[in-house]
Amino acid sequence: MAVRLGDTAPDFTAETTQGTISFHDWLGDSWGVLFSHPKDFTPVCTTELGYVARIKPEFDKRNVKVIGLSVDPVDSHVKWEEDIAETQGTPVNFPMIGDPDRKVSDLYDMIHPNANDTLTVRSVFVVGPDKKVKLTITYPASTGRNFDEILRVIDSLQLTAQFKVATPANWKDGQDVIIGAAVSDDEAKQLFPQGWKTVKPYLRVLSQPNKK
């Protein structure tokens, strides 16, 4: 069964490169990113994991824990991590789930048989501190993901969880935002006394509320 936005992220207990993890307990009050890669000792995956390791401080700053997964076992991940450290310049600094019995892959519908019937696709799930799924993305095996985009979406998710705003196309942290469509002008006056610009009655633009 597909995992959809707003669902509670399925909980599981799994072996990882950092020991046994129970997903919800491990998340605690943090946000989480669970992402799958198709196979160990493959080139695109090697670059992805190296990149995530390099930008991990950006996830930490946002109170986000990251965890990887493939259907290969933990001992394979551990051996592969030596190559990742050697070739990508940063050791893998987050847990990687070994899922040879596909328990977690099946729980999150990460195997798409018409693409490949044994390997996971490149799935990304962002989970909020309430354990609800906030974002799902699926890439094919041949395309490495843009993890800067995932950080950008997390910035939007965290902002829109705090304020009744939405973020426009290609928005980046610090840029103007949009007052949510469900917010009346009367409510907006209470929420945003600093004012906004009405481009159309349905398009009201506001400086990002938590920035000076």
**Residues 85/51, Cβ–Cβ less than 8 Å:** no
Q: One symbol per residue from 105 to 144: x for binding ligand BEZ (CB under 6 A), - otherwise; what is it? A: ------------------------------------xx--
Signed CA dihedral, 198, 202, 203, 204: sign only: positive
**Residues 139/121, Cβ–Cβ less than 8 Å:** yes
Choosing from 45, 151, 165, 177, the residue that interacts with ligand BEZ (CB under 6 A) is: 45
Verify whether residue 45 is a known catalytic residue: yes
Written as one string, the DSSP assignment of 141-209 is TTS---HHHHHHHHHHHHHHHHSSEE--TT--TTS-EEE-TT--HHHHHHH-TT--EEEETTEEEE--T
The answer to the question of residue 152 lying near ligand BEZ (CB under 6 A) is no
Nearer to ligand BEZ, 64 or 121 (CB): 121
Number of residues interacting with ligand BEZ: please give it, by CB under 6 A.
8
Nearer to ligand BEZ, 40 or 155 (CB): 40
From 89, 106, 86, 83, select the one nearest 36 (Cα to Cα): 106
Choosing from 10, 38, 68, 128, the residue that interacts with ligand BEZ (CB under 6 A) is: 38
- Catalytic entry in 9, 21, 33, 45: 45
Closest distance of CB 187 from ligand BEZ, Å: 48
Nearer to ligand BEZ, 7 or 83 (CB): 83
Active site residues: 45
